[in-house]
Structure 1
Amino acid sequence: MSTDSVRTHTPEERNRKIDVRVEHCVQHMAEQMDRPAIGRYLEKLEREWDLNRVVTVAASAVSVLGLVLAAKDGRGWKVVSGVAAGLLLQHGVFGFGPLAELVRLLGVRTRREMDLEKFALKALRGDFERIPHEGGPLARANAALVAAQS
C-alpha cells in the first residue's frame, strides 16, 4: 500500500494490525464466497467513518463545546476552542497531528485503507474481471488485494 502521512506517522505495529485485519477479512470472504454476505459487509464499510471524518467531527465538537462553556462560565474555555481549532488546522495542513494519533490508537482507518478492503471485496464478488476463478481461496484473496491496489 502506498504511504500517506497518517501511515508514515503511525507506528508500524499499529499499521500492521490494521493491514492484518483487512487481509483476514478478505481471506474469510474468499473462503465463504457468499455474495450476499460480501454485499452486506460492503454496505457496512460504506457507513464506517474514516480517520479524517472522526478527527474533524471530534475537533469541531470540542471547539463548539469550548465556546458554549465560555459563554456560560467564561473562565478560560475559549482556550479549549482555540486549541481544538489549532489541532484541526494542523491536521488539515499536514494530514496528521496529535488528534489523528489518538484516533489511530483507537483503530480508526484511513480512507485509503478502507478502500483497499472495499475494492478487494468487490473484486471477490466478481465486480472486476481480473480475478482468476481457478486456485484456492487464498490465491483468489491475494489476487483481489493486488487488483485493488493497482
Structure 2
Amino acid sequence: MESWNQSSADAARMHVSQEVNRRIDAKVERCVRHMAEQEDHSIISRYLEGLEKEWDLNRVVMVAASAVSLVGCVVAPPRSGAWRLVGGVAAGLLLQQGVFGFSPLSLLARRLGVRSRREIDLEKFALKALRGDFMRIPHEGGPLARANAALVAAQSD
C-alpha cells in the first residue's frame, strides 16, 4: 500500500523514529484492509466504538505523569527530597507535554504503540469511509484498492 500518513504537523510522528511510525501505520493498514473485506458493516461499527474509547498519546502521558507526581507527593516522607524530586520531574514532563505536545514520556509511549489523537482519527475516518459514510470511496477495485482510497481520503484535509 502506498504511504498515506504523511503529516509533518503531528508532533508525535516528528519526534520518533520512522520505524516506530511505520509499525503504527502498518497496524492501521492491516486493520483497514481487514475491514475492507467485511461484508457486514456492523463489524466496522463495533470496531469504531472501540476506537472511540482508545486513549491517545496525550492522555496516556498526562495520566502517567500525574500518577507518578501524585505518588511522589503521597509516598514522600517528611523532609525527603528524593520522592519530591520524582514528583517534580513528573510535573515538569507533564508541563513539557502540554506546552510542546511531546516529552520523553511520549517517546516511551510511542514505542509501546500508543497513537496520537490524529492517528486514531485517521483510522476512524478511513473506516467510516469504508462503511459508506462518505461518497469519495470507490466501490470497485477490490478491498485493497478501497482500503488505500479510504486511508488517503482520511488523510486529506
Aligned residue identity for 1:146: V
- Which of 4, 7, 19 is equivalent to 2:25? 19
Separation of aligned partners in 2, 1:93 and 1:135: 45
What stretches of structure 2 of length at least 5 have no aligned partner?
none
1:112 aligns with 2:118: yes
Offset of residue 94 of structure 1? 1.6
SS of 1:119's partner is helix
2:148 corresponds to? 142
Note the C-alpha offset of 1:73. Answer: 4.9
Q: Which runs of 5+ in 1 are unaligned?
A: none
Q: 1:63 aligns with which of 39, 63, 69?
A: 69
* Regions of 4+ moved over 4 Å: none
Instruction: Name the residue aligned to 1:94.
Output: 100
1:8 aligned to 2:14?
A: yes
Structure with bigger helix share is 1
Q: In the TM superposition, what is the alpha-carbon distance from 1:34 to its structure 2 partner?
A: 2.2
Partner of 1:54: 60
Q: How far apart are residue 74 of structure 1 and its match? A: 4.2
Aligned-CA RMSD value: 1.1
Q: Percent identity?
A: 72
Report the number of matched residues: 149
Offset from partner CA, 1:93-119 (integer Å, 9 cap, x none): 221111101111111001111111110
1:60-96: per-residue Cα shift (whole Å, max 9, x none)?
01111111012x4542211111100011111112211
Q: Which AA in structure 2 matches 1:37? A: I
CA distance in 1, matches of 2:39, 2:151: 15
TM-score (norm 2): 0.91
How far apart, in 2, do the equivalents of 1:74 and 1:104 lie?
A: 36
